[in-house]
Amino acid sequence: MPLQSSLRGPADLHTHSSISDGTETPGELVRAAAAAGLGTVALTDHDTTAGWPEAMVAAPEVGVNLIPGMELSTRHNGMSVHMLAYLFDPSNPALLAETERIRVARKTRAAEIVENIRVDYDLTWEDVLAQTTSGASIGRPHIADALVARGHSTDRSAAFDTILHPRSGYIIPLYAPDPIVAIRMIREAGGVPVIAHPATGTRGRLIPEDVVAEMVEAGLFGMEIDHRENTPEGKSWLRALAARYNLVLTGSSDYHGAGKPNRLGENTTPSAVVDAIVSEATGFAPIIAG
């Protein structure tokens, strides 16, 4: 039986606006998605849904389908695991409370990192705030922008390679829930959980298979395979896992505007997978622009 609401491609299911650490407003991002020739785009800011309303207005105006989402910060055994969540109820109390907790922790952590950095570099908390929009989900990219503004780094990437590197001595970890807890929360809110960039070389170890099995048990639906930071060996591993645990595989850009070299549509998700995600969701409907 044909699906009723097959979303037009190409589909890019992972992007960030200035509501977190991207450089374009949600409206600008949606317009950029249309200009890049995308048929469907997901907005997945870190730990916040504050960009949804603006993106939901802009998407029909430019004829792009919108999948509202989020990239939820989680941590397993000291390893940072980013969990993409699609089409959940944004007013779900448990999810609201947890994302609020993470955003508060983001701010406290960023302020502490700045305190560490200013022992060696001229940098103030006001410098960092000047790089964020009000209420934004703060992260190291905003500290990077402040370092660039002060002339300590040439761009975000250079800042991440040096002062903001996890082993620079200045960085402290972010509070984040366990991925199993996060997956259950996303499902409770009617959303669809997909692990973001699970096989990056730069971010250390791979998730142990028994933990992946537990995640599947908790409701994991898919894994992001086509992402520029997943290694070739990592992708083979993800393909094998997907077959073993019946998970969908997505592809996306992880666009951050001018904040990263990643371009909209550089990786995309097959329409059958997009439709499967939409069919699985019960928390929120995609914005269909035609």
Interacting residue ranges for ligand AMP, rule: CB under 6 A: 21, 46, 139-141, 156-157, 160, 174, 256, 259-260
Pairing relation of β-strands 79-86 and 65-76? antiparallel
Pairing relation of β-strands 11-12 and 40-43? parallel
Task: Answer with the entry of Fe ion, Zn ion, ligand AMP, none that 160 interacts with (C-beta below 5 to 8 A by kind).
Answer: ligand AMP
Q: Does 226 bind Fe ion (CB under 5 A)?
A: no
- By CB under 5 A, name the one of 45, 47, 145, 254 that touches Fe ion: 254
Task: Answer with the entry of ligand AMP, Fe ion, Zn ion, none that 284 interacts with (C-beta below 5 to 8 A by kind).
Answer: none
Residue whose C-beta lies closest to ligand AMP: 139
Task: Answer with the entry of Zn ion, ligand AMP, Fe ion, none that 196 interacts with (C-beta below 5 to 8 A by kind).
Answer: Fe ion
- By CB under 5 A, name the one of 82, 106, 142, 152 that touches Fe ion: 82
Return the residues of window 4-63 that contact Zn ion according to CB under 5 A: 16, 21
- Record the tokens describing residue 78, joined without a space: 């000291």
Does residue 43 contact residue 29 with C-beta atoms inside 8 Å?
yes
DSSP, residue by residue, 136-159 = ----HHHHHHHHHHTTS-SSHHHH
Q: How far is the CB of 133 from ligand AMP (least distance, A)?
A: 16
Q: Residue written as tokens 């992972």?
A: 14
Q: Does 47 bind Fe ion (CB under 5 A)?
A: no
Q: Does 128 bind Fe ion (CB under 5 A)?
A: no
Q: How far is the CB of 252 from ligand AMP (least distance, A)?
A: 12
Q: Segment contacting Fe ion (CB under 5 A): 56-64, 76-84, 120-128, 208-216?
A: 76-84
SS3 250: strand
Return the residues of window 127-156 that contact Zn ion according to CB under 5 A: none
- By CB under 5 A, name the one of 7, 83, 196, 220 that touches Fe ion: 196
Does residue 15 contact residue 42 with C-beta atoms inside 8 Å?
yes
Does residue 234 contact residue 290 with C-beta atoms inside 8 Å?
no
SS3 287: strand
Helix intervals (H) in the chain: 26-35, 52-62, 93-117, 125-129, 140-149, 156-161, 179-188, 209-218, 232-245, 271-280
**Which residue ranges make up the site for Fe ion (CB under 5 A)?**
71, 82, 196, 254
**Which residue ranges make up the site for Zn ion (CB under 5 A)?**
16, 21
